Each structure stands twice: as C-alpha cells, then as structure tokens.
Amino acid sequence: MPPRASDGGGQQTLSSFFRRAPQVPKRPAPDEVLILDSDDDDDNNNSKPALRPTESSAKRVKTEHDLQDTQLSPIASTSKLRAEPLPPFPPAVPSTKTSRSTSTTEPSISARRIRDFAFASRANGTANRDRSEESQQRHDAFVKKLSLGPDLLKKRNSYLQKEHHLAAAGGDDETDTGVGGVGDLDDADANLGDDDDEPGETESTTAKSRRKGKGKADDDEAGSRLSKFAAPGIAKKGSPAADVKYTPLEKQVIALRKAHPGVLLVVEVGYKFRFFEEDARVASRILNIACFPQQHMLTASIPTHRLDVHVKRLLNSGYKVGIVRQQETAALKKASDNRSAPFTRALSALYTSATYVDELDSEPLAVPGSTATLMCIVEDPMGQTADAKVKIGLLSVAPSTGAIIYDEFEDGFMRAELETRMLHLQPSELLVQRDLSSKTAAIVKYLAGHAAAGVPDFGSRVEQIAKRPSVSQATSIISDFYSAKSRRRARGDKPVRKEPSEITLSSSDEEDSASGPTRSGNETNPLDLPKLVLVALASLIKHLQPFGLDNVFLHRSSFSPFASRASMTLNGNTVSNLELLTNNTDFKEYGSLVAVLDRCKTAMGKRLLRRWITKPLLSKSLVEGRLDAIDEVQRNSASLTLARIRDLLRHLPDLERGLSRIHFGRATPNELFRVLEAFQRVGRVFEDVDSPADELGAVDGPIRQAAGGALKSTLWLELIKTLPKVRPLADKLVGQIDVKRARDNNKEYLHADASKYPELQSCKDGLAKAVDAMQDELKTARKVLRKPALQFTKVALEEFLLEVKISEAKNLVPADWIKINSTKQAYRYRSPSIQKRLEVLEQWREPAEAAFSDFLKEVSSHYEAFRAAIAALSTADCIFSLSRIAFASNWVRPSIEVAPGRIDIVNGRHPIIEEVSPQPFVPNTIRFGGTERKQMILTGLNMGGKSSLSRSVALIALLAQIGSFVPAESCSISLFDSIYTRMGAADDVARGRSTFMVELCETSEILRLASPRSLVILDELGRGTSTNDGQAIAAAVLEYLVKKQATCIFVTHYPALALVAKKYPESVSVNHMACIETPRDDGHADVTFLYRLADGLASASHGLNVARLAELPDSVIAVAREKGEELRKITEERTKQRRVDRLASILRSTAVRAYGEGAESAEDRHRLLQQCEAALTT
C-alpha cells in the first residue's frame, strides 16, 4: 500500500505522525531540528547533543507541520525522543505526478530531508536514491529508533483499522522510555540479556532486513518492525497469529499474564519496571507516562526508584498490582556466560488498596486518619421471595493496623443494616460471594461506587469468592490455619494438630506473662464466632494468603464486634446527614465534624478519634471518664506528666503501622529500631514512677506522685499505669541490636549478641573480607581511571558503582568494564573483578537476612504488649485533641442527666458552621423533656436556619456522648440510645428508588427502631409527593412518634401540622425561625433573617424572597407573585365553603331548629356549640 497523500495531493512528512510540540518562546531556524528534553536523569542514553538545546521540559521532536494529514492521529508517543544532527542528503527527486500542497508555502529544507529520509521508496515505485553504506546505516538506525518501518503508512493504517491504539500521550518527570523504548538507549538499557530482541540475531539477519528495506513498499512487510506489533489474538493481514515469533521476554509476559489473570503486572526489565499490552494502556492513562509499541507488544516503563509512588497511584485507581522481579540482577546477567538466555522472573509481591502496608516514612495510601480496609460479605436467604429478609455475615480487616471487626445480622429488603455498616467501616476493597441476592448486590455495587476510605477519587474494588465454603468447610480451614501457625512457631517441635476447642487467638502459643495485661477473660475462640462470620473469616484467610497477610488474624486483641452494648450504632443516614466524616458538598473531610475535632498529633490518634465519633458511648460512667480527663487537661495545665505526654505525642511515628510491618516481616532494620526506640521514649516519660503496678486506689502511691500529686481523672491514671510497662521489653529488644547499624539498614552487623545467631560470625568474617577486597578493587580502579579521589556510588538497589563523566568515559574506561546505568552527565560502571566480588558479597548476606527475619518474629511475639501501649497513646492523643478544640472555641462541659429524653441547651451553636463560616453563628436556646414538651414542630421561611438548628441539636447530643465538651453556654442532656435523621431530598436511580420512595424508606426504618430514649430529626417529610398526600403522611408520622414518646424535631412547611400540636398540647410545641419584614415602595417586602427560635407558626415561607436572592428574572417573580395570590384566594374560598358545609351537616344531623330549640339539655347544647366551632375553624 503506497503512502497516502494529503488532501492537497502532497506527500506527508514525518512530522505528521506526531503531535505538535509545545510552543517555545523562540522558533528554530528552518534548517534545524529542535530537540526538547528534560533534566530527568533517569534516562540511560548515549544521545549526542542536540543542535539547539532549549530550557523547555517538553520531550518532543519539533519539525515542520506544513504538510500533514489531519485525519490521522499519532502512531507513537514521542516522549523522550532524541535525534542526532542530520547528515547531508542527496537532492530530492521530484515526483512524476503533479502534487497540490495544502499550504502555499513550500516545505522547509528540514521537513523535506526528514520526509525523504523516512520514505526511501516512493508510492509509484520510484527506485531508492543511491546511498553510501554509511548513509544507509544511518537511515536504518534512525528508523529503528522510531520503531517505524519504511512502509510506515500501510502498517499504521492497518492498526487503526483494527482499533489497536498503539500510543498514549505522556510526559511528566517520571516518564522514562525504559529498555528498548523510542529513545536512544545505551547498552545497559537496551540489550541486557537480549530479552527485547530475537535470540541469535546475526549480522546477516540485519543485513537481510536492510536489503529488504530497499525494495518496494509492499515487499518489505516481513522485514518491517511494525509487522511484529500485533498483540496475541490480532493477526496481521495474510498471516495467522500463530506465526508470530515472540521474544523470550514476551513469552515470559504471556505466561505471567496467563498465570495471574486480573492482575496488573509491573515487570522488572533491566533497570526499569515495564508494563505490557493492556497493562501499558492502563499505566499510561493513570500514571501519565508514554505508551509505545515495541516488538509485538505495547509497552510503558517507569524508573525503579519511583516504583512505590506509581504502585500507590495504580492501587488508588482500584487495580490489583503484581510486582514481577528478576531473580538475578542485570549486571550479573551481563557478566554471565548465558547472556543470550532470558532472565528468570517471578511474581514477588501482590498488592491491592487494602493489602498494601505502607512503609513507615512513606505517604500513607489512605487518607490521613482513615484506614484502608478489606471487607468480606456473605449471606443466607431467610425466605423464598425476592423481598424476604436475609442473614448477613460480615468481617472487616485493616492489615495496616491489625483491626478486625465482625458482625452477623438480619436485614430487610432495603438492606439498611448493611448500608450502615459499610458507611461506618468505609471499605476500600470488598470480597463477596458470587450468588448474592439482587438487593444485596445492588447496595454493594452502589456503595462500592462511592469514594472509600483512603481512596478519595475512586470507588471500592470488588472481588468475588471463587467458591464460598460451607460452615463445616470454614471450620476446617480455620482449624488448619491456626494449627499450622502453631507448628511454625514451635521451632523444632513435632507437629501436633490442635483440636478446634483448643484454638484461641493469642499473641503466641505460650502466653508470656510480661507481654501485657492479662486478657484471659476476653480470649476469643474463633470457632465460637457466628456461623456466617466463620465463613467470611475462612474466605479472608484464603484471600490474604497470597499477599502474605494472613497472620493478621492471629491476635485476639484485634477482634471486636461491630455492635456493642457500650456504644451507640449510628445508621448510615445519620453519619451522612450530620456530616460526621465527610461534607455533603464535595465529600471531602473539610467541613465535617471529624475535621473540626481532629487536633491529634499521631496517626493512630486520628484513627481512634474517627471511631469515637461514629460510636458514641451509652455508659454514663465512660462519658464522665472522658469528660473528667478533658477537664483535667484544662484545669491542671501545670501537670508535669501531662506536659511530658503532650510533648511525646508530637514526635512519635505511626506505631500502629510500624507494628503491623514488623508483624508481617516487612520492616527494615531502621523501621524496627524507630518503633522500639519510640516505645523506649514512652517508658522514659514515667521513669520516676517507682512501681507501675501500684493500685489506683493508693492516693499517695508513686503514680500520683509522678503526676505531681494533682491528677484526679481515673482515665489518666489508667493510661499512666499502662504506658511504662512497655519500656523494659523495648529496652531488652533494643539491647540486642547495634543502633548505628540499624539506622544504616545494615542487617549483617545488626545483632549485638553474636552467640544468639552463631551462623552470623562466619558470615561477618566473610563479609569483612569481601568488603576489604572491594576496597582493594577501588584502589585499582583509581589507578586505571587516574582518579585518586574516586569513591563507590550506590543508586537505588545497585551498589559498588564507579561513576565516570561521559566526556571522560571513552578515553579512560577499559572496554571490558560493565556499564550498569547512566545519567545525562555520567556513566556508572563495574569492572569484571568488582562484579565477581559482588557475587561473593551477596552470598555472605543471605544468613543475615534469615537472622533478621527470625528477630522480627521474636519482636512480633510481644504484639499484645505493644498494642496495649499504642491504645493508651491513641486515647491520650484523642483527649488532648478534644481539649484543644474545647479551649480554643470556648466550649463547655455538658451535664449528663439520668432522666430520658431531656435536652436543655442554652445558646447552643453548630460546631461545624461555627468553625468554617466567616460569619458568626447565631446561638439558640432549646429545651425538651422535663417540664418541657418532647416534640417540636419547627416552621419558618426558606434559608431561615431550620435545618442548621436541628442539626446543631443532634451534633451537641452526639458530642456529649463521645465525652466531648459542647459549643454552648450551658448544656444538660440525657444519654440517647440512638440518633436518627431524615433530611434532604434526593432520588436513588442507581437502586431504582424515587425521591419519595427514599423518604419513606428512611422514615420507615426510623419508626421501626425509635424508642422513648431516641432523638429523631425529620426535615420536610412528604415534599416528594402531592401536598395532600405529603401533609397526611407527615401528620401520621408525627402522631406515631408522639405516641412512642421519642424526642423529635419535625421541620416542615405544612401549617396544618399545627393541628397535631392542638391534639397533643402536652407533648408537642410549635416554633418557627424568626425574621423581620420591611415594606418597600413597590408594595413588596424585604426579609431579614434573624436565625432565632420563636414560638408559634411562621406567617409565611417567603419563597419569593429566596427566588429574588437567587436572581430569578423579575418577570418570573412577578408572575409567581400573581399566581401565589390567585392560589391564596382559591384556597380561602375553598376553606370557607368547607366550613359552611361542615356546619350545615352538623345542624342537619342534630335537627336543630332556629335558635337551638331542639336541644334537650345544657350539655347537649354545649356539645353542639363545640362541634360548630370546630367546623368553623378547621
């Protein structure tokens, strides 16, 4: 197929295949090629200097675009593309056909040169121009760099017809062409192991392909590199896909993709990590890196030192990512005798958003304060119909912290209970059974599509259980799991399978009395968990084993039920409507209650505070304990102990995450030391405490003396008692390591006690000799390179490198030295002898790795003691946080009442609006219970503050029950068993529910669960349907709540609901949000919002005032006012007529003649008059 001409008839230039380069301040001369490159030193290349370097960071080849086919898109990204100065070319041979250009300007010299250079064969069969051998070699090299063949257009159009998109634009500072990319690569990148090239390619093969390049366009298809680009399953025209001869690397990739379906593979190739085929497309889109064709596959690459950053971005996008590493280093491969064979590669790590455990110093994958969690959901039907109830088992685990929450519950057809738990736990990954009911599947799909904790821009990842185990199978799996773990820990003991009744969750098989507070009364036997929870636990054990995270289930202190008698369970609507964790505008944390309260200094404190907010306490003693602790901080600000703890919290690492990394065996020596050293500092805060075991009742004991003799809070005394216990254990473990070596991540010399690991002694001797030999090699290298100050360099995972400037390398570096990697300024080498010494060094390091792994297991055996200290530190951090906001915002301590349903708030404020709004919040006084009524009908004009007032009451009640001070002048409040809200109007198309259906479903759940000790907020119920129906439903719901005696604020625009207040005057009050109406000259009135609570019904809703504030056209507002007046008159006439009809009916039914002569007694006459009055007033 000949090259296509443009619309104007002129032949395309090479520049038409690339996107236009970014504009630069100064254009180059017409006879120059402008090379734009960045300062990224991750590139390994030999490119010669560009003709005109610029300061632009764009990575494009700038060429003329005078002639281009605008219908064709780029075939390959030009990210990081480089070029050499062009050699002189023979003059162009004009075509025998008349060409019409789309531009009146003739192509520049550089455009014609590139065009003639890239297209040696003309479409009409014109012979190739005569070239010297040197020119031909340059031609082939240039075309090879671009991954383009002489028959460019034919191959390109073929791929476009197959919808095989080969290119994706990229180009941030993390982009790197990698091995075999479109850039000019050096030997270390392009030819390591020859994985990217056909094995055994000889000079004759290359010469043959060159000769084919001189023939006609149709004849060199077999020799073109584009003929190899078809992915598996996409055969090129006239040749079956089976005939494609894959390179060794491509065969490995195909095998790996087949072995790990559904996993986005990141493959180590040389000194880059590469993506292939569909994975490359995904990486290009998410990471904004170049994606280009090479050999038979698409590929994209990233530098090795950016792996962690890019993996997190892929995980946040919801992908399961597998890291495939070379089982031998590239340098060893190049130095070996079998360099033509492919590298040995295997999956070394597997991650999802919930199973990725961040390094101690890295930016956490989850949003600060939240935790990436994995949740398993299984269910059993409880009936045969589609709307029948189901029993659901749920287990949620956070590998980064070790927290495990489980529950089994019955749920109705709306799945409100499941929704509540998912909104509380905010899973970033879900594991569900395949045959979920349609209702459960719908709610899971809906909530999974929303942002999860730690994944603000993407939804939760959802996987299905391959085969759900039965209860008996789950029991067997769990028994085998704990038995196997026990055998592994019993070093050298004969494997003994424990009976199910003997299995308990503990920190180790043999309880260490020094590992922390005894918990014998709280031991959890996993086989005593509910049946569906057992199924979920077994499924998660199997799921987490490939990730190496199944050890998270070993510890008894990690398991806790979702529901507890000590705390309130807020339903999903309340969490959302009160904006406890995120705001309802952009669903970010700013503008939520947690953002207001969170002044914590530690990551574990932030996590605990979120749990406090969503789990208000039900015990008065626990609430008073937290209030006393906050009061202690404010009252006893001179306490030395509190000052020490406060200062300690400012400098602690994320101990919860660090302990998890130790437990999973992933911590580095430096991370291990930092965690243990932090626990030492925790103990040193209380170093003047003589006996931490002193009873709290001993008023004159050392603990109270350490606290300055002034602390009275029981909670603080318990924390002070717990924290010092961890220091002896931390001192013991730190004493076993060399601190300096630990900071340097030196595992070989880490252990201070040589007798503990005797195999390390010979290892140390061998390492010392190997290091001395390396120093000798360095001296030799200094002489060879004539650089007496030369030192070894370490880059990423490569060490013992000799760095030489590019300008000096050609003259100084011996030919047999191995180039490992390079920058634009220098090459990094190893001599053959250094390479051999390095192999010996690596062998001596293996025993040190094993010894360090054993030491991590020893530290992990004290998991319970460290967890207890972390819990105490987290609690202290939360107390200080609540104290800071109380002091800064002038909050007061609430008084907790015993009587149910009592609220007495004087000048209460909305805690969130007060914090984020630049305008001061107008406080209000509100009272319920006692001598006051328990239900309130709240009316008022639009934007008058009704919803803000009702939310502020609910938030103050919640703050009081988490043990916090509240924003008010004074507050007396009862403990509520639940807080329910139904606010706002929104449909739920994703779950097939209209606005009104959503309202009624939420209201139905409230009516089913509300009790006399519940607080209920209903905002404008009934507005999703007609006025009559909505008003009737609202009145009926209010009456129901009155009879249930639940404390309620009923926000409405229906004046007729005041009739309920007349029917129940002792229970229901009527209030409104006050305003001032100021008449205007045009007959209308300006409305001033007072945001004050007042008695009685509102005079009007003043909806037209809101319309005016919203800047509706004056003509629309005028018509609306006229229509409103007409409707008012019609309503008044109908009301009058209805009253007349009712009165007439009453008179007829009693057969009363004029002046009431038919009445038989005074009592009958009185009853008659009451009926008439009612008829005239309703």
The ranges assigned to domains in the chain are 14-351, 895-1111, 1130-1177
pTM passes above 0.85: no
* Nearest C-alpha neighbor of 32 from the set 54, 67, 62, 65: 62
Q: Determine the average pLDDT of the residues in 250-256.
A: 91
pLDDT of residue 152: 44
Question: What's the rounded Cα separation, in Å, for the pair 580 and 598?
Answer: 12
pLDDT band (50, 70, 90) for residue 645? very high
* Nearest C-alpha neighbor of 983 from the set 1016, 956, 1007: 1016
* Nearest C-alpha neighbor of 373 from the set 202, 500, 552, 521: 552
* Nearest C-alpha neighbor of 627 from the set 967, 974, 977, 960: 960
Whether residue 999 has pLDDT greater than 70: yes
Question: What's the rounded Cα separation, in Å, for the pair 832 and 569?
Answer: 68
pLDDT band (50, 70, 90) for residue 390? very high
Query: What confidence tens digit (pLDDT) does each residue in 771-829 have?
Result: 889 999 999 999 999 999 999 988 877 889 999 999 888 889 999 998 887 888 899 99
Neighbouring residues of 844: CB distance < 8 A, sequence distance ≥ 6: 748, 763, 766, 767, 770
Q: Determine the average pLDDT of the residues in 66-92.
A: 36
Question: What's the rounded Cα separation, in Å, for the pair 991 and 1133?
Answer: 43
pLDDT of residue 184: 35
pLDDT of residue 1129: 77
Q: Residue 883 is encoded by which pair of tokens?
A: 């104290």
Displacement of CA 391 from its chain's centroid (Å): 29
Q: Determine the average pLDDT of the residues in 199-222.
A: 36
pLDDT of residue 272: 84
Cβ pair 575, 337 in contact under 8 A:
no
The residue type found at 732 is K
Question: What's the rounded Cα separation, in Å, for the pair 939 and 1057?
Answer: 10
Most confident of 226-230, 762-766, 1003-1007: 1003-1007
Query: What confidence tens digit (pLDDT) does each residue in 530-558 have?
Result: 999 999 999 999 999 888 888 888 877 68
Query: What confidence tens digit (pLDDT) does each residue in 1118-1167 have?
Result: 787 777 777 777 777 777 777 677 767 766 666 554 445 554 666 766 66
Whether residue 23 has pLDDT greater than 70: no
Q: Is 25 exposed, middle or buried (0-12, 13-18, 19+ CB in 10 A)?
A: exposed
Question: What's the rounded Cα separation, in Å, for the pair 584 and 597?
Answer: 18
pLDDT of residue 131: 58
Give the number of residues written for the chain. Answer: 1178
pLDDT of residue 1059: 84
Give 1092-1145 as a DSSP string: EEEES--S---HHHHHHHTT--HHHHHHHHHHHHHHHHHHHHHHHHHHHHHHHH
Question: What's the rounded Cα separation, in Å, for the pair 356 and 547?
Answer: 9
Question: What's the rounded Cα separation, in Å, for the pair 1084 and 1108?
Answer: 11
CB count within 10 Å of CB 709 equals: 10
Cβ pair 655, 682 in contact under 8 A:
no
Cβ pair 45, 824 in contact under 8 A:
yes
Query: What confidence tens digit (pLDDT) does each residue in 358-389 have?
Result: 777 666 666 655 678 899 999 999 888 777 88
pLDDT band (50, 70, 90) for residue 1060? confident
pLDDT band (50, 70, 90) for residue 501? very low
Question: What's the rounded Cα separation, in Å, for the pair 1040 and 1035?
Answer: 9
Q: How far is CA 105 from CA 5, 92, 100, 244, in A?
A: 17, 17, 11, 44
pLDDT band (50, 70, 90) for residue 505? very low
pLDDT of residue 335: 53
Q: Which residues pair with 617 in a beta bridge?
A: 567
pLDDT of residue 1178: 59
Query: What confidence tens digit (pLDDT) does each residue in 123-144 have?
Result: 344 444 455 666 666 656 655 5
pLDDT of residue 550: 87
Higher pLDDT among residues 1101 and 967, named by residue: 967
CATH code 2.40.160.60 for 14-351: no
Q: Is the dihedral of CA 899, 902, 908, 909 positive or negative?
A: positive
Higher pLDDT among residues 955 and 414, named by residue: 955
Q: Residue 142 is encoded by which pair of tokens?
A: 């240039």
Q: Which residues pair with 1050 in a beta bridge?
A: 937, 1018
Is 895-1111 in the same CATH topology as 14-351?
no
Whether residue 1117 has pLDDT greater than 90: no
Q: Which residues pair with 473 in a beta bridge?
A: none
Question: What's the rounded Cα separation, in Å, for the pair 554 and 507?
Answer: 7
* Nearest C-alpha neighbor of 971 from the set 950, 951, 957: 957
Higher pLDDT among residues 119 and 1098, named by residue: 1098
Whether residue 830 has pLDDT greater than 80: yes
* Type and span of the H or E element at 404: strand 403-411
* Nearest C-alpha neighbor of 292 from the set 123, 129, 164, 110: 164
Higher pLDDT among residues 456 and 420, named by residue: 420
Give 958-993 as a DSSP string: HHHHTT--BSSSEEEEEPPSEEEEE-S---BGGGTB
Q: How far is CA 592 from CA 598, 885, 915, in A?
A: 10, 14, 10
Query: What confidence tens digit (pLDDT) does each residue in 307-357 have?
Result: 888 998 898 888 999 999 887 655 455 555 666 667 788 888 888 888 888
| Average pLDDT score over the chain | 74
Question: What is the Rg, in whole angstroms, of the alpha carbon atoms belonging to the chain?
Answer: 38
Cβ pair 536, 553 in contact under 8 A:
no
Q: Which residues pair with 803 in a beta bridge?
A: 828
* Nearest C-alpha neighbor of 177 from the set 264, 293, 281: 293
CATH superfamily of 895-1111: P-loop containing nucleotide triphosphate hydrolases (3.40.50.300)
pLDDT of residue 1151: 52
Higher pLDDT among residues 854 and 99, named by residue: 854
Whether residue 525 has pLDDT greater than 60: yes
Higher pLDDT among residues 660 and 202, named by residue: 660
Question: What's the rounded Cα separation, in Å, for the pair 471 and 473?
Answer: 5
Higher pLDDT among residues 1133 and 742, named by residue: 742
Question: What's the rounded Cα separation, in Å, for the pair 664 and 164?
Answer: 42
Q: Determine the average pLDDT of the residues in 937-952.
A: 88
